[in-house]
């Protein structure tokens, strides 16, 4: 079982590297990794399991956060109390986005950033992603609000960008009044 300590910390240089495209068919190792990521994210969002296994809660995880420099990530979205939908995006691309910009009012978080971070990260309110599933079939998925934010956050990981890199160092709340908080 994946533990919080298995996730790379922001000081690890690999988190700033660009991940490589995935070749199909997926290896057994990649399939196992994806399933392990889903299990971690699911369990981390259920308070009883999160406490029992000492898991930091998370909604998304990229392969690079486990030291695997491949272009895939997983999102486990609790769309209703106790009901989850899993998203597996392999070789994802953002193909369209809204003009509206939002930010997480209480601040974005990351399983690789183990400290409080002040500031806002402007994100598109709605996005459409194109990616491949585990069988190599291309699909599109739309996300809005928190799902759009996590899709963008994880895509940044694949390009070697952490959310803290997107916060203006001199003015962490720059343009806050121009964007909608969620």
Residue numbers annotated as active site: 154
For residue 90, what is the enclosing H or E element?
Answer: strand 83-97
Contact between 179 and 120 under an 8 Å Cβ cutoff? The reply is yes
Residues paired with 70 in a beta bridge: 20
Distances (CA, A) of 84 to 3, 102, 174: 20, 23, 34
Q: Cα separation of 65 and 73, whole Å?
A: 9
């Amino acid at each position: 079982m994946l533990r919080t300590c298995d996730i790379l910390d922001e000081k690890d240089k690999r988190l700033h590297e660009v991940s490589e495209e995935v070749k199909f068919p997926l290896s057994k190792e990649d399939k196992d990794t994806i399933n392990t990521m889903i299990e971690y994210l699911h369990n981390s969002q259920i308070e009883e399991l999160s406490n029992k296994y000492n898991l930091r809660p998370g909604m998304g995880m990229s392969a690079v956060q486990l030291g695997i420099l491949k272009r895939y990530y997983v999102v486990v979205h609790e769309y209703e109390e106790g009901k989850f939908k899993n998203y597996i995006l392999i070789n994802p691309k953002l193909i369209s986005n809204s003009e509206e910009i939002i930010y997480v009012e209480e601040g974005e978080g990351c399983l690789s950033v183990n400290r409080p971070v002040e500031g806002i990260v402007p994100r598109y309110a709605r996005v459409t992603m194109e990616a491949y599933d585990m069988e190599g079939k291309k699909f599109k998925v739309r996300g809005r609000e928190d799902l759009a934010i996590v899709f963008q956050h994880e895509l940044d990981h694949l390009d070697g960008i952490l959310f803290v890199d997107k916060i203006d160092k001199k003015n962490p709340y720059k343009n806050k009044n121009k964007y909608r908080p969620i």
